[in-house]
Amino acid sequence: MKNLARSVIPCLTRNLILTFNLLSLAKLGTKCIPRTFCAGLILLAEFIPLFAGLLTCLYGSAPYAGGTGDGWTVSQGQYDTTLPATHVVYIGSPGDGWAFCSFSYVNYSPAAPTLLGQRRSDDNSPITFGNWTNNLTPRATFYLSDPDAADTVKYQIQCSSEASFATTTINYTSSLISQGVTFYVMTGLTSGTSYYWRVKCIDNSSAESGWATANAGAIAVKIDTEPPTNVSISSCSAGSYSQITVYFTANDTGSGLAGSPYYVEMSTASNFGGDVTNSGWISQTSYVFNNLNRNKKYYFRLTAKDNAGNVSDPSSVVNWQTKPGTYQEKITTRTGPNSFGFFGDGLWEWEVAAKGGQLITVTAYIRYNASYGAAAKPKLTLYNLGVNSNATMIASADTWEQLQVSGTPNRNGVLKLKIEGYSTVPGAKMFVDDIQVSQ
């Protein structure tokens, strides 16, 4: 038999190339051979209609009847990428001889990974691209696929603090796995650093996809494991007999304070073992606790949170007292066993019976402690029945000073003696002793 021609055409499936060797065949009828076959060139437009339904990724080492079309028989087999690279397909008419073609398996490169995402490795909650996290081992997730459905694949993942990936913190290649969704837990990351990551797919024939880069090449994840610092209650104020306002602050030099970073707790016990009320997570730097008991001491502490989810330890405990804020003081006294104690913004009013038309004079010794700070100093006021007299301390801290107020009531009745402080600094106190009334 004489080799007449050789041509290359695609098969009906995308991953085979057929190379035809045309042989002289005995007794070939004209109805069995397309017009261009004898000319040595098989055109796809004429070849496919003639063998439609017969040439479907077939191979074999010998011809056998598998189906006929216009007098032709095509040997049949099945697609199998584990076969040798080159196979033979026999095409012919029984009793007339056979033409044959060889085909080779063509491996298509895998697709670039898709469905890129990232999650915490501890609770599997999502981490939005570009956001902060305090999870040092975030999980990169992605989908691996290959046009060759039977191929197994592996992935190569890189993580870097540089957008160019000039140096990498992670450069890992997996073993072969099935196509589909998979993940990689990134390790070796450090707090205070922003990271980029990318991944590509490699099939079992070592064909590679292009890189798929998380967050379109922008920062993928930022790590911060340090909680806020300088978490403290800066001051308190008793706004009324049933209300205390707490003022506070915190700093964070990493991811920054969260949108609602503050959480204030109040308790009737210094160890917070009693009833505890809280503000919830709030954005403002002050919070008002209402419906409190008159003249009662309460304890407060603050917790702060940053954008990465780090939560600080509670601040130092501060206590404050609702108005009038007086108590029996046994340590800081001028004379006798007791004095009146106040918190720094305390307000105490005392009723003084008075006769109309006669001068009345009230004296009192007042003192404030070093924690009182630079706020306006305590003041003594006598008022009502046409009287309005006041005196403000000028002495320094931890010094008893006598203040005097006086006036003539316009009628018999009750005057009000008011003692008030103005400091909201935690630890601020003032004391009153030896009140004398003369008329």
pLDDT digits (tens, 9 = 90+) for 400-434: 999 999 999 999 999 999 999 999 888 899 999 99
CA distance 204 to 10: 24
Instruction: Provide the pLDDT for residue 430.
Output: 93
CATH of domain 114-223: 2.60.40.10
Burial-class residue 304 by CB neighbours within 10 Å (0-12, 13-18, 19+): buried
**Hey, what CATH topology would domain 229-321 get?**
Immunoglobulin-like (2.60.40)
Q: Which residues contact 139 (CB under 8 A, 6 or more apart)?
A: 118, 119, 120, 121, 124, 183, 184, 185, 186
Query: In a structure prediction context, what are the per-residue pLDDT tens digits for the chain, which is 439 residues long?
Result: 222 222 333 333 323 333 333 332 222 232 233 323 322 223 233 333 333 333 332 333 333 333 333 333 333 333 333 433 343 344 444 444 444 444 445 789 999 999 999 999 999 999 999 999 999 999 999 999 999 999 999 999 999 999 999 999 999 999 999 999 999 999 999 999 999 999 999 999 999 999 999 999 999 999 999 999 999 999 999 888 899 999 999 999 999 999 999 999 999 999 998 789 999 999 999 999 999 988 889 999 999 999 999 999 999 999 998 887 677 888 888 998 989 898 888 888 899 999 999 999 999 999 999 999 999 999 999 999 999 999 999 999 999 999 999 999 999 999 999 999 999 888 899 999 999 999 9
Tokens 């000039």, residue located: 166
Domain ranges of the chain: 3-105, 114-223, 229-321, 326-438
Instruction: Provide the pLDDT for residue 330.
Output: 85
CATH of domain 326-438: 2.60.120.260
Instruction: Provide the pLDDT for residue 44.
Output: 30
| Residue 188: C-alpha distances to residues 142, 154, 182, 198, 253 (Å) | 20, 22, 20, 16, 22
Instruction: Provide the pLDDT for residue 9.
Output: 32
Instruction: Provide the pLDDT for residue 117.
Output: 98
Which is nearest to 44 in space by CA: 67, 24, 17?
17
CA distance 392 to 390: 7
CA distance 384 to 399: 30
Tell me how many degrees the CA angle 126-128-129 measures, rounded to the nearest 5: 130
- The string of pLDDT tens digits covering residues 45-87 is 333 333 333 333 233 333 333 333 333 333 333 333 343 334 3
Q: CATH topology of 114-223 equal to that of 326-438?
A: no
Residue 126 corresponds to which amino acid? P
| Residue 85: C-alpha distances to residues 14, 81, 101, 102, 104 (Å) | 15, 8, 14, 10, 5
Burial-class residue 293 by CB neighbours within 10 Å (0-12, 13-18, 19+): exposed
Instruction: Provide the pLDDT for residue 343.
Output: 86
Instruction: Provide the pLDDT for residue 11.
Output: 31
What phi and psi, each to the nearest 5 degrees, are found at residue 51?
-110, 20
Which is nearest to 134 in space by CA: 221, 22, 20?
221
Counts of helices then strands in the chain (DSSP H, E): 1, 31
